[in-house]
Structure 1
Amino acid sequence: MGLQEEIDKMRQEIRADNYSMSIGEWISLYENAEIDIHPEFQRFFRWSNSQKTRLIESILLGIPIPPIFVSQREDGVWDVVDGLQRLSTIYEFVGKLKNENQETLDSLTLEKTKYLPNLEGKKWEDTDDPGNSLTQAQRLLIKRAKIDATILLKESDEIAKYELFQRLNTGGSIATPQEVRNCILVMFNREMFHWMKKLSQNEMFRECIALSDRPVEEQYDMELLLRFLVFRTLEEREMRKIGNDLSGFLTEKMVEMAKNKEFNYEEEEDSFSKTFEILYEQMGSDSFRRYSPSKDKFLGGFLVSAYEVIALGIGYNYQNLSQSHIDIREKIKTIWTSSEYTSWSGSGTTAQRRVPRLVPFGRQMFQ
C-alpha cells in the first residue's frame, strides 16, 4: 500500500463536524448530562487559580478561545477529548462543577489581572455580598461568548478518539504519559480505571515500591501496576515489538485490555496481591533497591530494572512460590551479582533492549 492509499484509508476512519456554540449552550449540556468531562480527570488538572482567572478574563475581553474537541458516544453524549481545563473552569466559575461523588464544588473566586485588576475577589454570583458578583450584563457577556466545538462523530474508528486525546494532551497541562493513559482508560473502560486505582492503593505494593510523593502525584504507581498487568504473562515475541517507544507500547496494550470483554479481573488481582504479599513479607521497602554485596545492604531508591525482574518474575510464578519455602531475599541478592542482570540493567540500556531480556530472566530466576 502506497502513501496516498494509507492517507485515504485513515481519512475514511475519521468523521468530524464543527459547530460554533455559546458558553450558555456548553453550560446547558453539562446541566443536562449531555457532556462528560470525566470528574476522574480533575485530579490531573494542573491549572492554578491564576490560569483559571485568565481564561475568564479572555472571555470578558473577547479574546478567541481555542475549540473544544469532543467525541460522540453511541448514546449521543459527548466525551471531552481536549478542553477539559477550559470547560471545568467555566463550570467551576458558574457554580456547576461536580466532583467524582457528584457533589457540587465551591464557585471559583477570581484574582486580579494585568488588564482587569477589579476582577479580584469577584464571583459569578455572591449571595453573601451581591456587590462582589458579576453584573447581569457581565454574566450575559460570558454566556453569549462563543467556543467552537469539533466533534469526532460516533461513526469514526474508536481508536481515533484515544489517538486524538493523546496527541492533544501530551505535553500540555496533563504532564505525564500515565496521566494521559488514565484519562484514555476512563473513556474506554471506567470500571477498569477504578479497579486499577483501587489496586494501586494496596498497602503492601506501596511499601515495596517505596516511591516519594512526586512520582505518586504523577501516577507512576499506576504505571508500575500497568507494567505488571501488561508484562506478567506477555509472550516474549510480543515483548520484542516494543520498538523505540515503551510508553506507546504500554498505552496500546492498556487499550487492548480495556476493550477485552474477557479480561480476567479476579485472576489478575490475585496474582498482583499474592506477588506483593510475598515481597512485603520478605523484603518490604528493600524490594527494588540496589543490593551491595560488600556492605550486605540494600541501598538507594526504587529501580525499574529491578522491578521488571523481581515483581514480574514472582508474578509469573506466584502460584508455586506462595506454596514453597524459597528464601526470596537470598534469591534477590543473587540477581544483583548475576552478569545477565548487570549486562542489561545499566543506565545506557534502552527499554527496547532491556525488557525482552530482563522479564524472561526474572521468570527463570523464580521458577
Structure 2
Amino acid sequence: MERSTCGPGDLMARVSTTDDFDDQDGEENEPSDVSSDDVTRAVVTDTDWTTETILSQLRRGNILLNPRFQRRDAWDKPRKSKFIESLILGLPIPQIVLAEDKRRRGKFIVLDGKQRLLALRQFAAGSSFAISEGEQDFQGLKLTGLQVREDLRLKTLAKIENDSELVDDLNAFLNETIRTVVVRRWPNEEFLNLVFLRLNTGSVKLSPQELRQALHPGDFTNYLDDAATDSLWLKKALRSEKPDFRMRDVEILLRYFAFRYRLQDYTGNLKTFLDSTVNQLNEKWGDEEEEIRQVGKQCDSSIESTFAIFGENSFYRWSNGDYEGRFNRAVFDVMTYYFTDPNVAAASIERREQVEAAFKDLCAENVQFVEAIQTTTKTPLATQRRLSLWGRSLQLAIEQPLPIPRLVDNRIFV
C-alpha cells in the first residue's frame, strides 16, 4: 500500500496549543451529575502539612505520583525552581488538593497540584527523601533561573542537606507550610470530576483522563499511557512533539479503542463510555494483551493512511472553502474507524483525490454531517450519523461497499 511521503517524525513546525484542538467533542464539556446530597456527604478538610510531611508522603508512596507523570510535565525548570525558591523564602503558594483513595486507605489521588508535587519529587531526587529503590525513575532538578536566591543556583535538596552553611535554608524549606485540602468519603467519581473541573475553572483546564488514570489503574491503563507516548503517528495527528500534559492524546487513543470494541454500548455519556472501556480492557488484558496491542498498532496505521490522503489537513474540518486548522475529535473518529481496514485504506489512498473531494462536499453540503462533527456531537444519533454519512460518501468515492453503522432503538449496530 502506498504511504505518505511525510513520515511520523516529520512533525509540523507549529507545536499544538489549546487553540489547536476543536474541543467541542471533548470530555471537558460534559457536566457532572452531582446532587446536593453528594456534596453534603463528602468530607473536605484543610490540613497544614509542611514540605517535609509532603516529601515524606511522596517517599512512602502515599501520594500517587507515578513516574509516568514526568512525560506530561507542563513546567520548565525555571518555573519549578521558582516554586522551590518560594518555599525557601516563605512566600505564599497555591494549595494542593488530594482525594483519599477508597481502595487503599492512607493513599491519596492528586486533584490539583500535580506540577508542584512533581517539582518537589524531582528536587528531592538523591536526597534523604528519595525512594532508594527505583530512584532513577524520577529525574533530578537543579535550581535555575532564580530571582532572589541566585546563590542556590544548581543546588539540589541533596546538596543543601550536605552543606552546613545552608542549614537555615534547609530548615526553612522543610518547615514551610503547604496548605493541603483532603477530600474524604467522596460519594462517587462524578463528585471528584466536579471538584476537578471547578478547581481548574479560569485556568488551564486539565483533562478528565488524568483523573481516569488515577481512579481506574490497571495494565491497560498503563498501556494507554505508554502507547500514546510512544506513537509518533498520534503525535503527528495532534501536531505535538511530546506527550500532551492534559493527556488528550491518551483520551483520543482511548476513544479509538472504545469505538472499536464497544460502539454498540455507547449511550451518549462519553465519560461513562470511556470509563467502562478502560475497566473492561483492564480485566481482559491478561487473556487478550496481544490482541489489544495489535488494535493499538492499527490505530497508528489508520492515522498514517489519513495523512497519505489528506496530508497536512488530516483530522481538520472543512468549512467555508478551507480547512479550519484545528484537530477535530469527531473527524478523527470517522477517519480512523474506516481506515483501520487495510483494504479500505489502500483503496482510499489510490483514489485520494476522490476521497478528499467527497469529504469536502460532505462538510460543505450536508447540514446533518456538519452538526454531527461540530455541535451535537455526543449523542448516539450524532455518532451514528457522522459514521454512516461519511461511510456512504467514502464507499462511493472508492467504489466498494463498506459496513455502515445503523441506529436501532438508540443503539449503534454494524
TM-score normalised by L of structure 1:
0.70
Return closer, same or farther for 1:301/1:206 CA change in 2, 3 Å cut-off: farther
2:123 counterpart (70, 93, 100): 93
**Which ranges of structure 2 fall in alignment gaps of 5 or more residues?**
1-33, 315-322, 396-401, 404-414
RMSD: 4.3
Partner of 2:333: 308
| Residues 132-211 of structure 1 aligned to structure 2 (within 5 Å) | 135-169=166-200, 172=203, 180-191=207-218, 192-200=220-228, 206=233
Amino acid at match of 1:121: L
Cα distance in 1 for residues equivalent to 2:89 and 2:302: 60
Equivalent pair of 1:200/1:221 in contact (CA under 8 Å): yes
Amino acid at match of 2:192: K
Q: Please say if 1:81 is aligned against 2:85.
A: no
Return closer, same or farther for 1:114/1:346 CA change in 2, 3 Å cut-off: same
Amino acid at match of 2:357: W
Amino acid at match of 2:148: Y
| Residues 208-357 of structure 1 aligned to structure 2 (within 5 Å) | 212-214=239-241, 217=244, 221-232=249-260, 233-235=262-264, 238=267, 241=268, 250-260=270-280, 266=288, 273-274=297-298, 283=305, 285-289=307-311, 304=328, 307-314=332-339, 318=341, 327-329=347-349, 333-334=354-355, 336-337=357-358, 339-340=361-362, 342=364, 343=366, 350-352=374-376, 355-357=383-385
Equivalent pair of 2:59/2:131 in contact (CA under 8 Å): no
> How many Å apart are 1:274 and its aligned residue?
5.0
Cα distance in 2 for residues equivalent to 1:286 and 1:220: 23
Cα distance in 2 for residues equivalent to 1:207 and 1:66: 34
- The structure showing larger relative contact order (alpha-carbon pairs under 8 Å, at least 6 residues apart) is 2
Cα distance in 2 for residues equivalent to 1:348 and 1:257: 23
Equivalent pair of 2:50/2:175 in contact (CA under 8 Å): yes
1:116 counterpart (135, 149, 154): 149
> How many Å apart are 1:213 and its aligned residue?
3.6
Number of aligned residues: 332
> How many Å apart are 1:237 and its aligned residue?
8.1
> How many Å apart are 1:223 and its aligned residue?
4.2
| Residues 25-64 of structure 1 aligned to structure 2 (within 5 Å) | 25-64=53-92
Q: 1:27-63: per-residue Cα shift (whole Å, max 9, x none)?
A: 2212222221232222222212221222122222222
Cα distance in 2 for residues equivalent to 1:138 and 1:201: 38
Amino acid at match of 2:62: E
Give the secondary-structure state (helix, strand or coil) at the position aligned to 1:126: helix
Deviates more, 1:325-334 or 1:86-95: 325-334
Equivalent pair of 1:68/1:83 in contact (CA under 8 Å): yes
